[in-house]
A and B are shown apart, each in its own frame.
Chain A
Amino acid sequence: MRTALRIGAVLLACALAGGCDSPFPDETLVERLRLLAVAAEPPEAGVTDTLAFRALVADPRGAGRPLEYTWAVCFLAIGYAAADVACPGPGNFPLEAEGDGARLAVPELVAWLMEQDLPVDPGDPGGGEWPEVVTLLVGLEVSGPPLADQDGPERVRALKRFHLRLSGQASPNHNPALAGLSLDGLPWDEAPGPNGVPELQAGSEHLLRPEVLAGSVETFSEGEPPEEVQETLLFSWFSTGGEFRDQRTLLDPLLYEDLAKNRLKAPEEPGRYDLWLVVRDDRLGAGWLQTAFEVVPAPDAGD
């Protein structure tokens, strides 16, 4: 009961702070080097498969500077001491970077594990039952040479889980994919603007709605006894300017309410802005799209 009371105290603090505004810029505003998503293809691999990892990196101030990617598969649990997460780092299985991505041949990983004398030997369940799925972790560090106002290289890190499916009984998960984005009811590239780039008036508000490819919302079995569950898709919104009403929106097939849409208030400064939309399926699957919009002065701005 002491633990429940402690959790309750934290919840109470959350409730009391529920309406507090953050004094910091919103997470959706991309102002510097950021990792916005990492995907594994496929998100669930068999023991003989090869996975491809790719990262969605935004570097709005970098002006195309070269970025260095370091990838590794890590064997650790994410706990309360995140400082111990040296991933990528020593003792991990390094992956060779290919541009902003990397490849992992699972048999090579298994062979490497066999050499490491780890307490867990994936080749021998030791008489026990292996789980159907093992969750592994890949770490990524992206670094760029210092900009004019920076003392040293700029670095960001990310962690990404992927599933290693040891049994082929259940159908593996697939990454969700975005078909596009609509702006005020029109497909993004059909919205008014030159060259398929929508033109927004400074400070104007617009309705955005993500469109996913058919089959992105999958059905899977969960629990004991197994129940059929449909995935919930979560959309994360980012841009180099403007304000989103919601940082994240949802596509929940069980809800009648449309929670996937979002509203964007265009920046006041005219210019070209980047927009990223990331979709996740709650089962380690991810996909994204990147686009842009142009902000023009409002008609009365010059008056």
Chain B
Amino acid sequence: MARLSRISLALALCAALPATALAGGSIRGLLVQRQSGEPILGASVSLDDGAALTASDERGRFRFTDVPAGPHTLGVRDPECAPLDTQVEVVDGQTLELDLALDARGEEDTEEVVIRSPRLESAVNDTVLEMEEVRKIPGTQGDVLKIVQSLPGVARGVAFGGTAGPGVIVRGSAPEDSAVLIDGFGVPMLYHFGGLKSVINSDLLKRIDFLPGGFGAEFGDAIGGVLDVQTQPCTHSQYDGYVELSMIDAGFLVQGPITSESGFLLAARRSTLDAWLPSVLDAVTDDDTGFSMTVAPVYYDFQAKLDWSPGARDRLTFFAFGSSDRLTFLVDKAMSGDTSLRGDFGMAFQFYRFNLGWSHAGESWQLTTLANAGWDKADVSIGMGRYMHFDVPGGNLRSDLEWKLAERWTLRAGLNGGFSKYHFWAQMPRMPKEGEDASGFENLELFTADLADWNYNLSGYVSVAWRPLDPLSLSLGLRLDGYGGPWSGFGASPRASARYRVLETTLLKLGVGLYQQPPAEDETADEWGNPDLGLERAIHYVVGLEQALPWHVQVEFNYFYKDMDRLVVSDAETIYSNDGRGRASGVELLVRRDLADGLFGWLSYTLMRSQRQDHAGEDWRLFDWDQTHILTLVAGYRLPTGEIEPMHGQRSGWEFGLRFTLVSGNPETPYLGGIYDADYDTYLGIPGQNNSRRLPLFHQLDFRLDYTWAWTNWALSVFLDIQNVYNHRNVEGVQYNYDYTDRTYFQGMFFLPALGLKGYF
């Protein structure tokens, strides 16, 4: 019944392959205590007498995927509750949703009851992505983290990240203002090369919580949003794995049991772009440009996980993962009158994390402790005289406690302490901040720094959830963040939220909170930056409404307002200052249908305005990535025609997917002309009013079609993934002539079909 092995071999044209297709169906459940309505965390949930085992999370949720179709026995064990065993029926390609109410011990009801129960949430807005729904969305190449860019409140980045850098642009906040967490610890980047692939294999992910604002006190160091990525536990019941090859990368994943209580998972990927991209670029690049790629984009990532569950209440986990990106190119002709602007241009980014975690569920509490060691490294070189290097090893220890104090009271608290020893050395002009003119980079004064020191941070939070009435839950939290080392800072961030279930299917949400984050390391460096900088901060105000509708449809509406101050901006006297202010407001609408009867999808619309004031008294201007309208339609439909083959879990049939995106163009600052810099034989652009123009509307349709032939011992899938179906050449930016007296649009990706094959054994 179990898939003993699965090997996929893929050949794709200009696209990576999708993640592994689903086998059978899924079970998704919510556990609550029937008498109190509280979610049950840490309960042991088993399928078929332990053939599969999981535990409910802090919200009482649990999930099984790839469950073979047919009847199964589901068992729930929790020390506070009476045991529950029930029969469930799983249907191919569908997710069985269960809301299970367990009786407190001594108050057993003879009837098993499945209810729709209220939930306690510390975050006002939380979009949870279910993996099987999003793996075959067109344009993502099977990378589920890329679908975050199609959620409400997320602005579209420039192709391949562009100057948006490594993060996501959430509700009018800069990319670096949002945190990306993998199993509780931050990582410096989410995507390889600004958007090509995410830095962690999608097949490892259990859940992605996207928190665009109003999140709880457990999250810090972010004034924008949080992307909380959680990896799946290792399987203890079967061996499984695959290898894959595409024109983007090649990789493998293998997992399986070590004992009946422990399991392992290993995965790794390496890009394959360097095998063919230099030849293509050589063929299409004019020799006169003086440009040649010496190392094509190369990335690696790896994940290794071990877990051990010595009992239903304990889980020990070791998780090591890392990522490496490298690109260099040679410019053998002088790009300007500065003769040092030639030679090797390159960048290399690496990070590694080693997490050791222990989770224990007590009678009325759950404690999770994680130790983490890591290393971040960044090397950038621009020609012969400009470079910037970061070398930051460090470690963290965090512990999170959830404790049910009384029937209607729950306490959450945590501590997080960390250290890092950074080494920063650079010779570089200062990078333009958001909103600043980036022309004439080569003309700017070079600054030199060579700094090494220790940094420390200690954070703690406490939040109390109270349910004064059955339909009403309140959450009040406080977070304290302290930073020490050459630069020090302290912030106290109170946060509050309320959720009121107006009707059984209608939930009203309110939230307000203060969010703070430290400036970037180099911005506080002595001489290079300003060591007197303080924390950047934002206050989030959120009002939301969730409405459940028939046919597995939910509608969510949010209004948000974000008041930002103490933003770090360039300053003529102090290099950097906290003089910047910002404000962002908007409404979001999400109409979502969960996967049922083969159909899933969502319609997302955001109406938003984000502005900045760089110094007191100056005019407010548009944020660099202010996008007034963001509309995304995502839909997928499965049309299975055959029976599932137990050997490999595939079945014959069609699958369709489409994604339509309609987004306002980014603001741009027009140039009014140029001044000749006679020493560097180049021109300095004369910018007009900051972000006073807007690029044309962006719109694009992506389409995906899969067909699978399933035989007894193997299966073959063919897919066609077309990006930009109607070949609309969207505008990604403005290109000026040498002296800024003429301009034209820089156009993005054209019609891009990708054909692929994938074999399952």
Chain A residues proximal to chain B, CB less than 8 Å: 1-19, 21-25, 27, 34-35, 37-38, 77-83, 85, 156-161, 232, 234, 236, 245-250, 252, 259, 278, 280, 282, 284, 286
Interchain CB contact under 8 A, B679 and A22:
no
Interface centre among A3, A17, A21, A236 (most CB of B within 10 A): A3
Interchain CB contact under 8 A, A157 and B675:
yes
Interchain CB contact under 8 A, B687 and A83:
yes
Interface residues of B in 129-172 (CB under 8 A from A): 158, 160-166
> Could you list 13 A-B pairs, sorted by A, with CB under 8 Å?
A4-B390, A5-B349, A6-B431, A8-B325, A18-B331, A19-B291, A80-B439, A81-B436, A82-B675, A159-B676, A159-B679, A249-B334, A259-B332
Nearest first, the 3 closest Cβ-Cβ pairs linking A and B are A19-B285, A4-B378, A24-B737
Cβ of B284 < 8 Å from any Cβ of A? yes
Residues of B within 8 A of A232 (CB): 339
Q: Which residue from A19, A24, A282, A286 sits with its C-beta under 8 Å from B678?
A: A286
B270 to chain A, nearest CB (A): 18
Interface centre among A11, A12, A35, A159 (most CB of B within 10 A): A12
Interchain CB contact under 8 A, A83 and B349:
no
Q: Which residue from B193, B291, B389, B746 sits with its C-beta under 8 Å from A12?
A: B193
Residues of A within 8 A of B738 (CB): 24, 27
Interface residues of B in 368-400 (CB under 8 A from A): 376, 378-380, 382, 388-390, 392
Bound Cα distance from A156 to B325, whole angstroms: 44
Interchain CB contact under 8 A, A250 and B378:
no
- How many residues of B are in contact with the other chain, CB < 8 A? 85
A108 to chain B, nearest CB (A): 23
Interchain CB contact under 8 A, B188 and A3:
no
Interchain CB contact under 8 A, A7 and B291:
no
A65 to chain B, nearest CB (A): 20
Closest B-chain residue to A248, C-beta based? B334
Interchain CB contact under 8 A, B285 and A18:
yes
Closest A-chain residue to B333, C-beta based? A246
**Beyond A12-B193, A250-B339, is A6–B390 a contact (Cβ under 8 Å)?**
no
Cβ of B681 < 8 Å from any Cβ of A? yes
Cβ of B329 < 8 Å from any Cβ of A? yes
Closest A-chain residue to B376, C-beta based? A1
Interchain CB contact under 8 A, A13 and B678:
no
Residues of A within 8 A of B678 (CB): 35, 37-38, 158-160, 286
Other contacts beyond A5-B166, A282-B340: 15, CB < 8 A: A3-B520, A9-B162, A9-B163, A11-B327, A27-B739, A35-B676, A77-B445, A79-B570, A80-B436, A83-B687, A157-B675, A158-B677, A248-B334, A250-B334, A282-B339
Interchain CB contact under 8 A, A282 and B338:
yes
Closest A-chain residue to B389, C-beta based? A4
Chain B residues proximal to chain A, CB less than 8 Å: 158, 160-166, 176, 188-189, 193-194, 281, 284-286, 288-291, 293, 297, 325, 327, 329, 331-334, 336-340, 342, 345-347, 349, 376, 378-380, 382, 388-390, 392, 428, 431-432, 436-440, 443-445, 520-523, 570, 572, 672, 675-679, 681, 684-688, 735, 737-739, 742, 744, 746
**Beyond A23-B735, A85-B684, is A11–B291 a contact (Cβ under 8 Å)?**
no
Bound Cα distance from A282 to B339, whole angstroms: 7
Interchain CB contact under 8 A, A280 and B380:
no
Bound Cα distance from A19 to B678, whole angstroms: 27
B566 to chain A, nearest CB (A): 17
Residues of A within 8 A of B432 (CB): 80
A254 to chain B, nearest CB (A): 11
Bound Cα distance from A259 to B334, whole angstroms: 10
Interchain CB contact under 8 A, B679 and A284:
yes
Q: Which residue from B281, B325, B347, B676 sits with its C-beta under 8 Å from A157?
A: B676
Residues of B within 8 A of A250 (CB): 333-334, 339, 342
Interchain CB contact under 8 A, B338 and A159:
no
Interchain CB contact under 8 A, A234 and B681:
yes
Interchain CB contact under 8 A, A1 and B378:
yes
Bound Cα distance from A13 to B443, whole angstroms: 20
Closest B-chain residue to A56, C-beta based? B678
Bound Cα distance from A245 to B570, whole angstroms: 40
A176 to chain B, nearest CB (A): 12
Interchain CB contact under 8 A, A81 and B388:
no
Closest B-chain residue to A280, C-beta based? B337
Q: Which residue from B165, B436, B675 sits with its C-beta under 8 Å from A9?
A: B165
Residues of B within 8 A of A2 (CB): 165, 176, 188, 520-521
Residues of B within 8 A of A3 (CB): 388, 431, 520-523
